[in-house]
Amino acid sequence: MSSDDQRPEPDDAKARPATDPEPDTDTEAGTATEDTEVEDEPSASGRGRKTDDDSGTGESVNTRRSARSGPPRPLMFATAALASAALVVAIVFGVMWQSAASSDELEIAQARDEVSAAANRAAAVFLEFDHTRSDELLAERKKLSTDAMSAEIDETEKEWRESIEKAQLKTVTTVQDVAVEELNVHEGKARALAVVQIEVTNAQGSFGNVERLQLELERDQQGDGSDEDRQWKVSALANVQYGASG
């Protein structure tokens, strides 16, 4: 027997050269994938959160988002514009209302002054008598009277002339006070009370007296609107006893 025949055949497992087993690519790839996903996936409590912002100011992203969590800028601008417009309208209407109120007060004050002046002059004229100046006094009374009152003066003119000429009557009047009791600017009507000191001279002598005269006045609306045409004129008058009014 030859030496080759006598050499035992090597064990297949032992005789096969040792080789590294093929790596489990699927397992390693899956592990790598999982590791990659775990590294890339942000934590559930701080997704996308950084400790410091890019500017290095230390302001967190969540803080910036909270600051921007209000209404959109266009809506905020529109709301501010509407509020500003409402404020402007309120101011304008307030100024207009105040101006209108001031205008009414001014008109009433001016009308009261005009009524007081007209009543003052009328009281002096209507209580003045002078048999030597009858025509002048009658013309002055008509000038201060409404058309209706002027017509009444014409009707009583003859009797008036005869009475003062017969008594040789003369008076000197001094208006002591005038009070506007009623005033309606819109209707153009007023009432005034005048206190007049009268010095009387007639055929029997002279004496003094105090008269209280109530005058009804109306504002003349005719003509071209000038001051002369819009005067307050007497529409009625009467003597008032002390302690009585109207």
Dihedrals phi, psi of 47, to nearest 5 degrees: -60, 125
| Per-residue model confidence as pLDDT tens for the chain (246 residues) | 444 444 544 444 444 544 444 444 444 444 444 444 444 444 444 444 444 444 444 445 455 555 555 556 665 656 666 666 666 666 765 666 555 556 778 888 999 999 999 999 999 999 999 999 999 999 999 999 999 999 999 999 999 999 999 999 999 999 999 999 999 998 999 999 999 999 999 988 999 999 999 999 999 865 555 544 578 999 999 998 765 544
What angle is formed at CA 129 by the lines to CA 127 and CA 130, rounded to 5 degrees? 160
Map tokens 């699927």 to a residue.
26
Structurally, the chain folds into a number of domains equal to 1
Give the domain CATH number at 197.
3.10.450.230
* Unique residue bearing structure tokens 């001094």: 174
pLDDT at 52: 46
**Predicted pLDDT of residue 161:** 93
Asked whether residue 37 is assigned to any structural domain, the reply reads: no
Identify whether 136 is part of a domain.
yes
Question: Does residue 245 sit within a domain?
Answer: no
Domain that holds residue 116: 97-239
In this prediction, residue 107 carries a pLDDT of 85
Q: Is 86 part of a structural domain of the chain? A: no
In a domain, 200, yes or no: yes
